[in-house]
Structure 1
Amino acid sequence: MKSVLIIDDEKEIRELLAIYLKNYGYETFEAHNGREAFTLFQKEMIDLVLADIMMPEMDGIELLKNMRQDSHVLFLFISAKSDDMDKINGLQLGADDYISKPFNPLEVVSRVQALFRRAYSYALPENQDRERIEIGDIRLDIKSCKLYKRGVQKELTSVEFKILALLMSHAGRVFTKAHIYEQVWGEEYMGDENLVMVYISKIRDKIEDNSRMPVHLITIRGLGYRFEKA
């Protein structure tokens, strides 16, 4: 049974989400602020975090920063802050998805299910090594979900891993933003270009010597992105 930690200072929202998630077979934990949530997170085995941004004592952003110090737990922001920059800031810090209030509880359940489906799952070509992909000085270990550049490990979120695995396993092929989104998020592309661009930028920071002049992850203007072959 997968476990979900629900964090919101509004009791009604926590209880509503818990009811729906339990109906779909998830175990739930609840916290009313970030500090309480972080203490609970350290004690329990949590598979996914649903967190509001605006909370007392410790807000969602600070909570995510603390969790990301030693965990890659799936993290979904739920917040009334719907500005694009709030969404981008959350994703840059390592959140896996973002949904705005007001929301339909069934949509939240669908996002949770999608996050679990896509976590560490992707399709490799039949002739591709199932344990690692190595191109130039970049090595992606499939079983451990770890990235190495010249032998030095670089931390990856689950979404970053999926995007990189998709592109590296099909090196030389151009993927549009829409294709990347649909393959990685498992949803129909709705034109949210910023989401894909944010993750491409974060991946470049980890694999390129100069992210402004990439030699591995190349932008094909007007089309999309391609991982260069060795």
Structure 2
Amino acid sequence: MSKETILMVDDEAEIVKLMEIYFRNEGYSLIHASNGMEALEQLRSQSVDLIILDVMMPHMDGIEACMKIREEHHIPIIMLSAKTQDIDKIAGLSIGADEYVTKPFSPLVLVASVKSHLRRYRKLSTFHAKDDDEIVIDDLVINVSTHTVTVDQQEIKLTPREFAILHLLAINRGIVLSMDKIYEVVWNEPFMESKNTVMVHIRKLREKIEKDPQNPKFIKTVWGIGYKMESY
């Protein structure tokens, strides 16, 4: 089995060198870019399985880079930043990042996070079920095997987390799922007061698949409980 490749985009060389040791010890291949523009060039020339993206960088920062990457790629993105305010974390998640890690961070924790994201992405990318490859809900079509979503025959670009949430709601359509249940299944870890995280992802998902996000057709809020996907 070939090594999975991680692209670390950070202008702090010491952090990159340190993480290269940790990732190499875990069997991953690490490539490096020092800003967003270099990261986009790397993605054009080679295959990458996950991106670790710093926010504060010269030439093109992580926010702009993340938005451009999301135009073409669905791979997991973990954002790094010294900013710790909730509004900064929400901004990072809103533009398509799958996780927001604040600096300084523990290398072991970052490695564990990378493993979790790759494991989940690998599972979603390789899952094939003859009867459930395609889920059709009115004009919303979710193809599990190709990891694609269309609404009214228009392809919608989702992050791995957004796809996982949509798929979870779709296979349980008509059933109300609490925010803690969504978090535990999609993030694959115990729920730890992460309602804002789930809400941000649901909001972004609605903005992408709903014609009127303020009056959603597919993903309904059940106040005080959670969310459900309507059946049509």
Q: TM-score, normalised by structure 1?
A: 0.92
Aligned to 1:189, the other structure's residue is in SS state coil
Deviations along 1:62-111, one digit per CA (max 9) or x if unpaired, are: 11122122222221101111221221112111111111111110100011
Query: 1:74 & 1:81 partners in 2: Cα distance?
Result: 21
Of residues 173, 177, 182 in structure 2, which corresponds to 1:175?
Answer: 177
Q: How does 1:144-155 map to 2 (within 5 A)?
A: 144-155=146-157
The one-letter amino acid of 2:8's match is I
In structure 1, runs of 5+ residues without a counterpart are none
Listed one character per residue, the Cα deviations across residues 89-139 of structure 1 (whole Å, up to 9, x for unaligned) are 1211111111111111010001101111111636xxxx9932111122211
1:2-151 map, 5 Å: 2-119=4-121, 121=123, 129-151=131-153
SS of the residue 1:129 aligns to: coil
Whole-Å separation in 1 of the counterparts to 2:111 and 2:157: 28
Report SS of the residue matched to 1:77: strand
TM-score, length basis structure 2: 0.92
Deviations for 1:152-182, whole angstroms, at most 9, x for unmatched residues?
2222111111000000001111111111111
The CA RMSD over aligned residues, in Å, is 1.7
The aligned length equals 226
| Aligned mates of 1:7, 1:50 — CA distance in 2 | 6
- Supply the distance in 2 between the matched residues of 1:115 and 1:223 (Cα, whole angstroms): 27
Once residues 104 and 221 of structure 1 are traced to their aligned partners in structure 2, the CA distance between those partners, rounded to angstroms, is 37
Q: How far apart, in 2, do the equivalents of 1:14 and 1:112 lie?
A: 15
Identity over aligned pairs, percent: 39
Alpha-carbon distance in 1 for matches of 2:42, 2:219: 39
One-letter code of the match for 1:100?
T
2:220 aligned residue: 218
Runs of 4+ in structure 1 deviating by more than 3 angstroms, as ranges, are: none
Distance 1:8 1:157 in 2: 21
The answer on whether the counterparts of 1:120 and 1:161 sit within 8 Å (CA) in structure 2 is no
Unaligned 5+ runs, structure 2: none
One-letter identity of the residue aligned with 1:193: K
SS in structure 2 opposite 1:119? Answer: helix
Structure-1 separation of matches of 2:152 and 2:130: 21
CA–CA separation in structure 1 for the residues paired with 2:68 and 2:151: 25
